[in-house]
Amino acid sequence: MPWQKGSSKLGQPHKHAGLSLQATTKLDDIDIAQMAKAAAEAASVKVPQWSSVRLERTDPGLLVFSVRGPGGLVEQMVFQLTASNVDGLTGLKSSILRYKTSQTTVFGFIPVAPKRMLGLQAHRKWITNFASALKAADSTAQIDINGPLDGTGALWI
């Protein structure tokens, strides 16, 4: 099995490491970038992680965001949104580049339980916000979210 970005060679990728958004729209890159940035600003999560999403880098056809913990000091996750022009439409794809996990301990022992992906809730909120804004701006946009946004299953808008 090939290693995915964000995984360590010591273990398997987290079960939500493949969470992504794929879309096709008639909107241009500038409008998409503004919607993605607005979605990031609205994706702050107060409880339980006090996470915020911020734009780290912009290049033509590429936006890189990070999910940061309390105070914006600790990077919990980094994800990107890429854009490419195909047949007069803009194709979009988001993907998680890297992430941190945590695991609870009980009296110093690590119980047999799944690890928690830090920043996942804020990333899900960004995807939801961005998909909603994209659909509102372009009703013909095709949006596919690969992975659960609420722990249940995939969503197609």
Angle among Cα 86, 87, 93 to the nearest 5 degrees reads 25
Hey, which of 13-17, 56-60, 146-150 has the most confident mean pLDDT?
56-60
Q: Which of 16, 2, 4 is nearest to 101 (CA)?
A: 16
Q: What is the pLDDT of residue 9?
A: 46
Residue-wise pLDDT for 39-98, tens only, equals 999 988 776 667 889 999 999 999 999 999 887 788 999 999 999 998 899 999 999 998
Given a contact cutoff of 8 angstroms between Cβ atoms, the answer to whether 96 and 79 are in contact is yes
- Distance between CA 65 and CA 57 in Å, rounded? 7
Residue-wise pLDDT for 111-133, tens only, equals 666 777 788 888 899 999 999 99
Q: Say if 5 falls within a structural domain.
A: no
Which residue range forms the structural domain that includes residue 103? 20-156
Q: Say if 121 falls within a structural domain.
A: yes
Domains in the chain, number: 1
Q: What is the pTM of this model?
A: 0.78
